[in-house]
Every structure is written in structure tokens, then in C-alpha cells.
Structure 1
């Protein structure tokens, strides 16, 4: 698509501020493929009565696919955030990876649903971690400057 085609009113999909930025970044084309954006646009603009009618047609397999795709996207973002964290705090990044491994193993062994409150807490923590990525680097730089100042005295 050309820039003019991308900016055309017919191509407009309205998101809230943080999600607008995420979707618009070219680096996220793999996370938000054109097919997904077209589907979202159609859903947003659809007649609400039609949406309710379509909802009745959703199968358990279709729901599993939707949830699986959402979890895949979330996992990708979480791994990227942990990779960025590793640049400034390897130990914290390793702890996060260990936590994810333990949760995955516990879920596989127990074969039951995770507590929704725990899932929400982990999701919230990953969003905060993603938001902190710039602050972590700033804090790390400040600590290094303070250490240099201390040694210079």
C-alpha cells in the first residue's frame, strides 16, 4: 500500500492512544497483519445486531483459534520485553523467563484453567514491564553515572 492509500479515510481504523501507536509502527506488521486489521475494521463498523447474530455461529474450535492467536501475540510482546530487559538487568530477565517456564509447566501438569486473577496480574505486570523499558535504561544510566561520580571523589 502506498502512504496515500494507508492514510485514506476508507482505510481508517480508530484505536485508543497506546494501541494506535503499537499498530501503526511498521515493526509490528508481523504482529498485526493486514488480514487482522481488515477483520477488526469490519467488526468495528459492523451492525451490532449482525455481530450478535454472528456470535451465535462461533464454534468452540473458532474460539480456541481466536484465543490461541491472541496468546501468541501476547507471548511475542512479552518475550521482546524480556529481551529488552536483559540488556540492562540480566538477572531480572532470567527470573521472568523462569517464572514463565514454571507457569507453563504447572499449567501443563495440572491440565486445568489458570486462576483468572493470576492471568490478569501477569498480563498487567507484562504491560507495566513493557511501559518501563525506557525507564529501566534511564535508571541504569543514572546508576552508572552515580558509580562513576563516587569513584571520582
Structure 2
């Protein structure tokens, strides 16, 4: 996936989409990753850098170029929140605050990916798959428990 001249590893974008909870990383924002426009699915979120991609960008610090576009430095934001964070009021949104949003949104599944270096795309996709399978298993088990209480509602 490329966004405004940036190219991101397919595993990185897959991880962001898998771990964002299907919505913007901004706390309590319910903008979904995908919106349907004229019956076609359209990406509704933008990749945002925690540490700026460009020298004159908000929250810029010296960093290796590969680290700058790594999973640990990226979040997904809806267009209005991305504009607020990077253009309108960037001084309000510190590196630490955006990292906190990332940790909160990704939960325990994201913890496995944080701080991982030299991760191959293949291993990242495998980890995402494992996370999705574990999530689906938890949902299935919850539905089974719910069936015991109210079969029709489940």
C-alpha cells in the first residue's frame, strides 16, 4: 500500500488493519476502516506517523528511515483526526500520546508485535493469522456460552 509517496511493507499494513479493531486509532472514534461507496468497499483510514516522516513534520526526531515506516511508528487515522493531529493542532499530540493510543487500540495482540526488530513479512503475516484465529476462537467460545443461556439470541 502506498500513501502520498510512501511505500509500506504489505505485512505492516496488514498488521495495522488487523489490529486496529476495524476503526480509527483515535480514542472513541468509530470511523470504520472500510466504507461502502456506491456498493464498493473503499479504504476510509490513512496511515499516520507517530514520529514524522519528514524533517519539517510534527514530532520529527532523528530516526532510521526503515524504522520511520515500521509498524511500531504507524497508526491508522480517519481523515479528520489525521488532519487535526498532523496539521491543525500537532503541538497537542506528542509521540508518547500517539504511542499510548496505539497500545490501547491494539491491546494484547499488538503487544506481541511491539519492539520486534528484523521481523520478516512472512513471519508478520503468520503472527497476524495466529492472532485472528485466536480472536475467532474466543468469539466462538463466547457464542457457545451464550447459547446455553439463550440459544435463539446467540
- TM over 0.5: same fold? no
Q: Which has the higher relative contact order, 1 or 2, with Cα contacts under 8 A spaced 6 or more apart? A: 2
Structure of higher CA gyration radius = 1
TM-score, length of structure 2 as denominator length: 0.30
